[in-house]
Amino acid sequence: MAFLFFFVSCLCLLLLIVRSSTETRTCPVTTRTGFVTLFNPPSQPLTTVSSQPWIFTIDNFLTPSECKTLISLASSSGLTQANVGDKKRREEKGTYDSDHRRCSSLNLPSSRTPIKRVREKCASLFENISVEHLEVTQISRYIKGDFFRVHDDGIHPYYSSHTKKMCSSPPHCNRVATIFVYLNDVEEGGETRFTQTDPEIFIKPKKGMAVLFFPAKMPDDEKDPGGLAEGLMHESVTAVDEKWILQQFVWSGKYIGVGA
């Protein structure tokens, strides 16, 4: 009898865990067509690091062997000095502002099988996002002394002529989600630091772990026709040990920019 009670209790607990881990999470990121809706598949459970703003991590998003393949692919394709995306900063300081971003990076075509797989995995996290919404996939390498100072990934409204060339949902196009995947374990330095939480959040790079957040709020047509992109400020803390990271930005519409 006691055994039966124990068995039924375990079964109920298991059902409860499975149920809560398959829960769909809706995040406060409005697009013109509604919300970006996240799946929380049991195989890739999301850990909530912050709920205001939303920041999630996903352990083992990529396997060690996928990470190794991606590092080899990036190494053999050749990384170059990473440029600065922010248009205003580029105008003031130039495309390569090594006081702001110092690391090497490259864009990888989605025709390469390992990249195609990562992109499919990223898109599968969302209900209303397909691989067509994904910007060209980037991989970056930080060596001792490298960093990426505080910035956001959203594109501000005063760049709307720019965003219209990058995404097929004008007039309001923006990056609505960012996914970082760490490709190696990093003993010291290189944390991803989020500066708008209290206390600030430091995420230590762990091989295969993904970080997911929402870099820009899309304008609400009725309340705010001009719209404001709200950035989620973050940085890559100065590296001590080598760090490899994959960056995948997700757009509100089909991505039609460079490398599409």
Ligand X SMILES: O=C(O)CCC(=O)C(=O)O
Name the residues that contact ligand X, by CB under 6 A: 148, 153, 180, 192, 234, 236, 245, 247
Pick 158 or 202: Cβ nearer ligand X: 202
* Least Cβ distance, residue 236 to ligand X (angstroms): 3
* Least Cβ distance, residue 94 to ligand X (angstroms): 18
Phi, psi of 176, rounded to the nearest 5 degrees: -105, -15
* Least Cβ distance, residue 165 to ligand X (angstroms): 20
Give the integer Cα–Cα distance in Å for 167 and 75: 29
Pick 121 or 234: Cβ nearer ligand X: 234
* Least Cβ distance, residue 104 to ligand X (angstroms): 12
Question: Starting at the edge strand that comes first in sequence, how are the strands of the sheet with 147-151 ordered?
Answer: 101-102, 147-151, 234-236, 192-194, 201-203
Pick 31 or 192: Cβ nearer ligand X: 192
Pick 148 or 251: Cβ nearer ligand X: 148
Q: Which DSSP string do the residues of 172-189 spell out, in sequence order? A: S--EEEEEEEE-S--SSB
- Say if residues 47 and 25 touch (Cβ distance below 8 Å): no
